[in-house]
Structure 1
Amino acid sequence: MDKIKKISNATNLKYLAIALMFLDHIHEMFAFMGAPMWLTMIGRLVFPIFLFLAADSFHYTHDRKAYMKRLLFMFWFMSIGNTIVGSIFHNGDVGLMNNAFSTFLVTGIYICSWDLLFKGLRDKSKDEILKGIGLFLLPIILAIPTLILASMLTGGGLHPVVLRLLALVTIMIPSIITVEGSFLLVILGLLFYIFREHRNIQLVVLAVISLIFYLIDPVDVQWMMVFAAIPMYFYNGERGSGNKNFFYIFYPAHIYLLWILASLFR
């Protein structure tokens, strides 16, 4: 058991998630060519693993502001990239909407909000409590202009160029309704952070959120993310020697490569 735990550091889990993510996106892009369903089924493990690792990253990072800025930049980069690549290359009825950074960013906002509220209540600091409440409300408030812009998109009567600009602005606003995978994943990431020192509770949280996904839509395979509990259980808390910037490069690169290849086979 100890030998297995030593293997399961953050680098191992990250590369496992990246490999499963690649297979998942093969199904997403090439389902029309008969890519098997099991590719996306095992891909359901990806988000929980990354959110699990992000909980540790937010706790141990020496510069949380820089971390959040990097997530925000990548969120904007993917939003713009999706618009450009998706307008040039077309993949039938499939929309290029992949942007996991939206989920990680909003999760990070709520983690920061939690820390401010916790510290404010502990130290009886009104300023910290107010900042925490402000951060908590931010993704909710930002959903309002997103909804307004979305209603303008469906209203009609606007020039196509204006419509494209509105669409771009809409997807570049981080809010509770623009996260990939639903807001339930943000809750999952926050709870992973809150209970980061209690592995068994983290596994229970994963099981509960997976059950909620199943109850919402039994046909959807998102509930299969519960099996991420297996690699999570064997995580030993060590970082490993992996390149921390690899994901930031690989994620957009493989999505756009697969999307372009799929469009060429249409």
Structure 2
Amino acid sequence: MDYIHQMFEGMGVPLWLTMLGRLVFPIFLFLAADSFHYTHDRLAYLRRLLYMSWFMTIGNAIIGNVFHSGNVGLMNNAFSTFFITGIFICSWDLLTKGLRDKSYKELIQGFGVFLLPILSSIPVVVLAGINEIPHANPLVVQIVASILSLVPSIIMVEGGFVMVILGLLFYIFRTNRMAQIIVLAIISVIAHLFDPTTVLDDDLRCDSYVFLQW
């Protein structure tokens, strides 16, 4: 319902569709964060999330090229959000364990894992700048954008980085249900007062997904 509103808001789709539909994403994040605690193989879990992220990206590209609806393009990919959340959860555990055990090796590993989704965002920013160059080769931009769309990064996640923070906090406070409720309430207020995806959608996200429009 949220996606229907997002795609066809300009055609008069009512607001209550997205109001109901947006209840789902925090539930998914809660389950994903909880699953990282209980899974016996985090790497396998992360791989499955990454594969599904690729599947969604490729599927969006195919559907976007087959079905045209003006300037509307499919960019939703919740699995990329879950994947990045998992990366930060692994980083959190390495950092906390490193602090507890006074292990510099684990601290360095944790910091390195933390930087991965941030560093993977740099090519997206560069691509957005290249796309603004008047004589940029459109074929090269399309190829690079296609490749980068398969690399999850903090500026390309559905819901914005605030949803990644919510997933991480769900994990950190997994033994304190009241704290999780408070976190959800605070994040909800922040998301209501300031839409973290607005700037991203306008300035970067559409540029990096420009191949969908082609």
User: If the TM-score is normalised by the length of the shorter chain, which range does it land in?
Assistant: 0.7 to 0.9
Gaps of 5+ in 2: 199-214
Runs of 4+ in 1 over 6 A off after TM superposition: none
| Structure 1 residue 177, shift from structure 2 partner | 0.6
1:223 is matched with: none
Asked if 1 retains the 8 angstrom alpha-carbon contact of 2:56 and 2:77, the reply is yes
Amino acid in structure 1 at the alignment position of 2:31: L
Q: Structure 1 CA distance, aligned partners of 2:127 and 2:185?
A: 36
| Structure 1 residue 147, shift from structure 2 partner | 0.8
* 2:76 counterpart of 1:98: yes
Amino acid in structure 2 at the alignment position of 1:24: D
Q: Structure 2 CA distance, aligned partners of 1:88 and 1:152?
A: 27
Identify the match of residue 7 of structure 2 among 10, 22, 29. Answer: 29
Q: Structure 2 CA distance, aligned partners of 1:134 and 1:184?
A: 21
Amino acid in structure 2 at the alignment position of 1:90: H
* 2:157 counterpart of 1:168: no
Q: Structure 2 CA distance, aligned partners of 1:159 and 1:83?
A: 20
Q: Structure 2 CA distance, aligned partners of 1:82 and 1:156?
A: 27
Asked if 1 retains the 8 angstrom alpha-carbon contact of 2:36 and 2:86, the reply is yes
| Structure 1 residue 125, shift from structure 2 partner | 1.5
* 2:34 counterpart of 1:56: yes
Deviation larger for 179-188 or 77-86: 77-86
Amino acid in structure 1 at the alignment position of 2:131: L
Asked if 2 retains the 8 angstrom alpha-carbon contact of 1:153 and 1:166, the reply is no
Output one character per residue of 1:151-172: Cα deviation in whole Å (capped at 9) or x when no partner. 1222232343322212212322
Deviation larger for 183-192 or 161-170: 161-170
Deviation larger for 29-38 or 163-172: 29-38
Aligned pairs, number = 196
Q: TM-score, normalised by structure 2?
A: 0.85
Output one character per residue of 1:187-212: Cα deviation in whole Å (capped at 9) or x when no partner. 00000000001000000001111111
2:181 is matched with: 203
Higher relative contact order (CA 8 A, sep 6+): 1
Task: Please give the secondary structure, in 2, of the residue aligned with 1:55.
Answer: helix
Q: Structure 2 CA distance, aligned partners of 1:173 and 1:150?
A: 15
1:120 is matched with: 98
Task: Please give the secondary structure, in 2, of the residue aligned with 1:94.
Answer: coil
Task: Please give the secondary structure, in 1, of the residue aligned with 2:192.
Answer: helix
Task: Please give the secondary structure, in 1, of the residue aligned with 2:48.
Answer: helix
- Structure with max Cα Rg: 1
Task: Please give the secondary structure, in 1, of the residue aligned with 2:74.
Answer: coil
133 and 73 in structure 1: CA distance in 2 versus 1, 3 angstrom threshold: same
Asked if 2 retains the 8 angstrom alpha-carbon contact of 1:150 and 1:170, the reply is no
* 2:39 counterpart of 1:39: no
Asked if 1 retains the 8 angstrom alpha-carbon contact of 2:166 and 2:187, the reply is yes
CA-based RMSD of the aligned residues comes to 1.7
Amino acid in structure 1 at the alignment position of 2:159: G
| Structure 1 residue 40, shift from structure 2 partner | 0.5
Asked if 2 retains the 8 angstrom alpha-carbon contact of 1:83 and 1:168, the reply is no
Amino acid in structure 2 at the alignment position of 1:99: N
| Structure 1 residue 32, shift from structure 2 partner | 4.5
